[in-house]
Amino acid sequence: MHQFLPVAYFKGQFTAFEDANISIATHALHYGTGAFGGLRGIPDPQNPSQILLFRLDRHCQRLSSSARLLNFGLPADKIQSVIIEFVRRNRPQVSFYIRPLVYTSDLGISPRLHNVEKDFFVYGLELGDYLSPEGVSCRISSWYRQEDRSLPLRGKISGAYITSSLAKTEAVESGFDEAILMNTQGKVSEASGMNVFIVRAGKLITPGYDQDILEGITRESIITIAKDLEIEVIERPVDKSELFIADEVFLSGTAAKITPVRQIETHHMPQSRPVTEKLREKLSAVVENRDPAYQKWVFPIEVA
């Protein structure tokens, strides 16, 4: 059972989470006409009067861009100011996750994005490890990642996550933890809600934006960190067979952080993961504001 934070932002004001409810006739509920974000926060290990948010500005920019795909002008600075106040009002004591969502809030039955009311809400919940830090097993999904020509994949459009849901359930019900989806060209795209990285001969390889992936913020951060650590990074198409012969495979995302893959289908991955562990250790230091070189990525909020 999730422990939700007590205060939400809903219909332009802060209110109790249990009072932030929508109608059963809400347009977005029927047509998936929404877009969401997700970012993590933690109490500052060095300063108990501060909460740290990872890459707040980048998350707000992406959600604002996603809103534009829904014909909704929502400035990134508006999203950011609401999230800052949301954190101050909740004052979380443990690691937590923030879910902002833009959506068509009108009551109606016509699928459209014009002449329909839109709105924006924020809620949060306590969240530790989303996936096992010891590693997960993955199956290759029978479902394919959508194409950008049929869905705007540069945004986190809520309706697109039916494919993720189908893939995740298929994986779990067949004895695995997670799914890896191919794109319609038969190349590796992403997991159900995470980007995919492989390591071969010390080089970090990941599908590029032309492979119908989400523009993951954690993915982007890992690529920057890897380059700073002088790890060669290659963004290119990845074949399914490469997953099986890779030296290391890991998933990345806001919720998943960096999660090693220990098994794909019947193939067990090497237990030694030097590149994955080096990147995971570095990312943890960055998120906890223990690395001065990346302080610009960490947004401190005074809650005392």
Domain boundaries, the chain: 7-126, 136-287
Confidence band, pLDDT 50/70/90 cuts, at residue 129: confident
pTM passes above 0.75: yes
In the CATH scheme, what architecture does the domain 7-126 have? 2-Layer Sandwich (3.30)
3-state secondary structure of 89: helix
Residues noted as catalytic: 156
pLDDT at residue 108, as a whole number? 86
Strand partners, 299: 53
Q: Is the pLDDT of residue 304 over 80?
A: no
Positive/negative CA dihedral, 124, 111, 117, 76: positive
* Residue 249 contacts residue 273 (beta carbons within 8 Å): no
The secondary structure of residue 94, as a DSSP letter, is S
Asked whether this chain's domains 7-126 and 136-287 adopt the same fold, the reply is no
Confidence band, pLDDT 50/70/90 cuts, at residue 133: confident
Q: Is the pLDDT of residue 255 over 90?
A: no
* Residue 106 contacts residue 145 (beta carbons within 8 Å): no
* Residue 28 contacts residue 36 (beta carbons within 8 Å): no
Q: Could you tell me which of 1, 2, 10 has the C-alpha nearest to residue 89?
A: 10
**Residues 69-95, mean pLDDT to the nearest whole number:** 97
Q: What are residue 154's phi and psi, to 5 degrees?
A: -75, -10
pLDDT at residue 256, as a whole number? 80
Sequence-ordered strand ranges (E) for the chain: 7-10, 13-16, 34-36, 39-43, 50-54, 96-104, 118-126, 136-144, 178-182, 188-191, 195-200, 203-206, 233-235, 248-253, 257-264, 267-268, 298-302
Superfamily of domain 136-287: D-amino Acid Aminotransferase, subunit A, domain 2 (3.20.10.10)
Confidence band, pLDDT 50/70/90 cuts, at residue 234: very high
pLDDT by residue (tens digit) across 162-181? 999 999 999 999 999 999 99
Q: Could you tell me which of 125, 108, 103, 138 has the C-alpha nearest to residue 10?
A: 103
